[in-house]
Amino acid sequence: MSDLHVVILAAGKGTRMKSARPKVLHQVAGRPMIDFVLRAAQSLSPKSTTLVVGHMKELLRQGLAAYQDLSFVTQEPQLGTGHALLQTAGILERQSGLVLLLSGDVPLLRRHTLADLVEKHRESQAAATVLSALVERPYGYGRIVRVRGKISRIVEERDASPAQRKIREINSGVYVFSLASLFEALRGLATGNAQGEYYLTDLISSYRHRRFGVEVVVVEDQNEIRGINSRSELAEASRIVRQKKNEELMAAGVTIEDPATTYVDEDVVVGADTVIHPGVHLEGRTQIGQACEIHAGVRIINSVLDDRVTVQNFCVINGGRLGPGVTVGPFVHIRPETELRESVHIGNFVELKKSVL
């Protein structure tokens, strides 16, 4: 999408996390939450990706050093979402096309949802398109106010009337904007609200008042727009990602005896007819072949297991390679750069490092 630019908001303090590191670097199911956002955005092949940073910005830059082609702008002081997007003017104001605005703490958005949102915006030739969701408990979210079925405005929770707080359609904070009118409109925002901030949501009523097109796409799964602001929300997001991963593996022919106690990171690959017993952790970029058996209490990190490997109870395998038919354990520790070739058996309480057997 050569005319698509992505902006990710990541300047917030995340005070409810009570942490000495940036909120968006906290891990969801083995990956920094912002990594989910970046991967989803990169699937659209945007022309540019810009992060708006502020609180602990140097730590955030260091944490994202492995990512290529990222631009950073600083929001100081932090005066709201409208003010945050305005900080990208130096990079985007002379560009043409569209801006997809995402939040670094909303990691569960699926790639096809973003693609549908961008496509809807293009088809309608709107000035803005909003991603919304219908939820049972809308407390804390901005409400989508419609008039005759069309979006009229977005009202934040603190500024909403009692009637507006009963509205179940909420704003996700994810938008597509046409660049042609964006920065002029951003500079016209005011701070007449309970927070005294420049609300990005005020753009919607401004656009409607100017008779610009504004569209809404309603996401089917409300979990996609979950924001993470606390440790409990972090754990819930990890549970959702891991549950989805376990379901995908079982649908592909993997036996997971107890999905509730099986923790599999998203990038892990497991072959058909493999059996995973309770309390197993498969982490990083681990690859497990077909017809393996991973017994209870095993932890495997960034390792490769070929077909028909058996790992007995309470083993730790980190950075190793186990060939076809290998059996290890129980209580074996395989450390990095260790290779066990075909049909090797390792018994109880063995530790190996930088070894080839």
Catalytic residue numbers, as ranges: 16
Is 71 exposed, middle or buried, given 0-12, 13-18 or 19+ CB atoms closer than 10 A?
A: middle
| DSSP SS3 for 316 | strand
Amino acid at 6: V
With tokens 């597509």, the residue in question is: 176
Q: What whole-number distance in Å separates Cα of residue 133 and Cα of residue 49?
A: 25
Rg for the chain (alpha carbons), in Å? 24
Parallel, antiparallel or unpaired: strands 98-103 and 169-178: antiparallel
Neighbours of 52 (CB within 10 A): 27
Q: Cα torsion at 254, 260, 266, 269 (round to 10°)?
A: -20
Q: What whole-number distance in Å separates Cα of residue 175 and Cα of residue 144?
A: 13
Is 213 exposed, middle or buried, given 0-12, 13-18 or 19+ CB atoms closer than 10 A?
A: middle
> Which of 273, 312, 311, 267 has the alpha carbon at shortest distance from 290?
273
Q: What whole-number distance in Å separates Cα of residue 305 and Cα of residue 332?
A: 15
Q: What whole-number distance in Å separates Cα of residue 34 and Cα of residue 234?
A: 12
DSSP 160-175: --TTGGG--EEEEEEE
Amino acid at 170: I
> Which of 181, 173, 170 has the alpha carbon at shortest distance from 213?
181
The contacts of residue 60 (CB under 8 Å, 6+ apart) are 10, 22, 24, 25, 51, 53
